[in-house]
Structure 1
Amino acid sequence: MIRCVRIWTAEDGDSHFQDGHVDLSRGERGDSLSAVLGAAGVSFRETKAGGAFAWHDAPVRQLVLTLSGTLEFVTRSGGRFTIRPGDVLLAEDTAGTGHFWRLVDDQSWRRAYVILAPDARVPFVAAAPAT
């Protein structure tokens, strides 16, 4: 299972997040596979250990694939979540109060940004609510 955290702007104007995973219900040769989704572009970025980024919105609807580094994300309402290597962030909070992040380990944050096509349907499956 590939962990995915979705962050979006709710009707209250604040960023909210939901933990889940990428749907890998298809497959062949014993592999699990997601549906193909459209992308408009891909870029790579590296931030040195200790880095942070003040309050901001996602510039576009995108997937952020973390290759190295561990980050804490915070929303204005006080929500917090951690992203680790191998996690996917589905960033959809392109308006509103935004979020900030900071690196919490001694690694650089190496990541790939996948800018989603306007009609891309991301195979995100929300985690079941805790009981």
Structure 2
Amino acid sequence: SDPPLTELGVTEPNGQEQQDISVSTANGESAAAARAQQGEQEQFTPPLTDLQATSDEVSGDTPDSSLDRIQLSFTGLCYTSVIDATGTTLYIGTANAGDRHELEGKAPFDIVLGHAAMATVTYQGEEVALGSRTRNRIARLSVGP
């Protein structure tokens, strides 16, 4: 049978009694009560996740008016590269049907479209004609002033 429990502690298997130690704070509260009370006062703040937007994204700040805008939309698979006048690569990769990219940078933009028939380019709100700039399905063009 199990050893008997005592009021002051637990009797160890070797017959010796282990004392139950109670720690008190300066005002006489037990440490457990102080922790419980403190836990009630603390507020849990969950960490941010990648899915949560920052305040800048939510605020709807207007884009920098000193930058030029270009939009690309796709109806099919199309390798795409867009580099602005400063040499910054704004987009490089393979776009899929339904993709839409709104890019900002300094014009003129150097654009390469690997399957131009699958892409529509809009600069400052006006569609850019790709037909005359396309050869063997690949369009190479510079858009902007």
TM-score greater than 0.5 by the shorter chain: no
* Higher strand fraction (1 or 2): 1
TM-score (norm 1): 0.30
* Higher helix fraction (1 or 2): 2
Structure possessing the higher relative contact order (Cα contacts under 8 Å, 6 or more residues apart): 1
TM-score (norm 2): 0.28
